[in-house]
């Protein structure tokens, strides 16, 4: 390691990969439905962290980290092959991760995606007894990130609504939702309302409180954007304490009652947002819900094969929405989703196979310069 390097990557590689090897021989925690295996997630977190450290070292990104990780895992994929990492090397690895996050916070730009990689890896470590220790500084470091991620989010120029549905004596729930949500139609498209109404079909009226907020370094909401799913994930992780962070400002309050929606079915879709990995979602099968998922306004259904329809905003380019994914010879702008197509022409839930196909097709967020000729406001789509 040279004097101008911040991190000893060989030693950190050994610590992180030793952890991944130890996990091979232990029982994994609960696996969420349709989520990648923990081994694959762990592999991606470690690769991202090593690449980030190499970048801070001023080195060319080592593109073979994944190959080296896989080689080490394959060499030890047999019983009793892994030797537990000594406590002093555990502490060294975790302290290097702590120093890495401190360096990220000093850099220009938004470091939260990289910080979240570290937090997810630490959260994984907590579930494995050999690393879940008070002696290796794991828990204090996790506590710091649980504060740092919301603190940095509160400085982003974003707008969101804290939604409370239900009364004190009956079923109720709270959630952070993107943008300004303060009408019955908007509330009924939220996941919170869909879940509560499905779990409590006998409730005929739902009280709701909507408080809209904006964040950022300015006291003015000018220039803010609607919160992304990533922003909301961090807010939800922080809970109500997020509202007390510096940079969070209240921008509106509304209290109303909702008449329960009867006879409206729901459908499973695959939502795809710019710069984000696709994710599964359950929404009401209504026009209002479909319009909300594509950013409001007119939506355009496009048959893409295998019984799948892609729904996007018809005026995404005209409205200057952010480029999302390439589709054939064109680029879809703004959020879109995939849904199943029935013989009658109605939208239906995606099957497991269709969901997997969509996950694979749109797995990687795409980068755009903004100068692509396909971003001109005309659209011609092709079948996959």
What pTM does this model have?
A: 0.68
Q: Please name the helix (run of DSSP H) or strand (run of DSSP E) that holds residue 359, with its range, or none.
A: helix 352-361
Q: Which pLDDT does position 79 carry in this prediction?
A: 54
Non-local CB neighbours of 380 within 8 Å, separated by 6+ positions: 329, 330
Could you tell me which residue, 372 or 269, shows the higher pLDDT?
269
CB-CB contact of 94 with 124 (8 Å): no
Residue 233 CA to residue 375 CA, distance in Å, equals: 30
To 10 degrees, the CA torsion angle through 7, 13, 14, 17? 150
pLDDT of residue 261: 64
Q: What share of the chain has pLDDT > 90, as a percent?
A: 54
State mean pLDDT over 228-248. 96
pLDDT one-digit tens code per residue, 140-159:
999 999 999 999 999 999 99
DSSP string, 92-133: HHHHHHHHHHHHHHHSSS--HHHHHHHHHHHHHHHTSTTT--
What is the structure's pLDDT at 317?
A: 86
Taking residues 328-347, report their average pLDDT. Answer: 88
3-state secondary structure of 293: helix
Residue 189's pLDDT is 84
pLDDT band at 188 (very low <50, low <70, confident <90, very high): confident
Q: Cα–Cα distance between 31 and 153 in angstroms, integer?
A: 28
pLDDT score recorded for residue 174: 96
What CA–CA distance (Å, rounded) separates 314 from 335?
11
Q: Please, are residues 231 and 187 in contact by the beta-carbon 8 Å criterion? A: no
The pLDDT of 307-330, averaged and rounded, is 90
């Amino acid at each position: 390691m040279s004097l101008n390097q911040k991190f000893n990557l060989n030693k950190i590689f050994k610590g992180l990969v030793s952890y991944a090897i130890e996990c091979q021989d232990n029982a994994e925690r609960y696996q969420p439905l349709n989520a990648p295996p923990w081994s694959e997630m762990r592999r991606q977190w470690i690769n991202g962290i090593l690449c980030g450290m190499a970048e801070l070292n001023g080195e060319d990104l080592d593109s073979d980290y994944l190959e080296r990780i896989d080689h080490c895992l394959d060499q030890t994929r047999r019983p009793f092959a892994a030797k537990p990492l000594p406590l002093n090397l555990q502490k060294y690895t975790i302290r290097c991760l702590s120093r890495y996050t401190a360096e990220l916070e000093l850099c220009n730009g938004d470091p939260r995606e990289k910080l979240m990689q570290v937090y997810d890896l630490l959260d994984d470590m907590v579930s494995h007894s050999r690393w879940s220790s008070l002696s290796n500084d794991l828990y204090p470091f996790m506590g710091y990130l649980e504060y740092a991620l919301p603190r940095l989010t509160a400085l982003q120029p974003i707008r969101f609504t804290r939604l409370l549905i239900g009364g004190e004596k009956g079923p109720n729930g709270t959630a952070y939702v993107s943008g300004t949500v303060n009408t019955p139609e908007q509330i009924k498209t939220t996941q919170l309302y869909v879940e509560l109404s499905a779990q409590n079909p006998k409730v005929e009226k739902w009280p709701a409180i909507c408080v809209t907020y904006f964040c950022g370094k300015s006291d003015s909401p000018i220039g803010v954007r609607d919160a992304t799913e990533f922003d909301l994930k961090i807010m939800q992780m922080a809970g109500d304490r997020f509202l007390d962070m510096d940079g969070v400002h209240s921008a509106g309050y509304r209290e109303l009652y909702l008449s329960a929606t009867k006879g409206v079915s729901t459908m499973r879709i695959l939502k795809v947002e710019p710069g984000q990995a696709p994710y599964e979602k359950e929404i009401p099968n209504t026009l209002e819900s479909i319009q909300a998922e594509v950013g409001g306004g007119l939506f355009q259904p496009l048959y893409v094969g295998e019984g799948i329809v892609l729904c996007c905003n018809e005026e995404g380019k005209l409205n200057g929405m952010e480029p999302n994914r390439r589709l054939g010879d064109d680029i879809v702008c703004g959020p879109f989703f995939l849904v199943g197509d029935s013989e009658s022409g109605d939208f239906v839930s995606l099957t497991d196979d269709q969901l997997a196909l969509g996950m694979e097709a749109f797995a990687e967020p795409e980068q755009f310069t903004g100068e692509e000729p396909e971003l001109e406001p005309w659209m011609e789509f092709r079948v996959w």
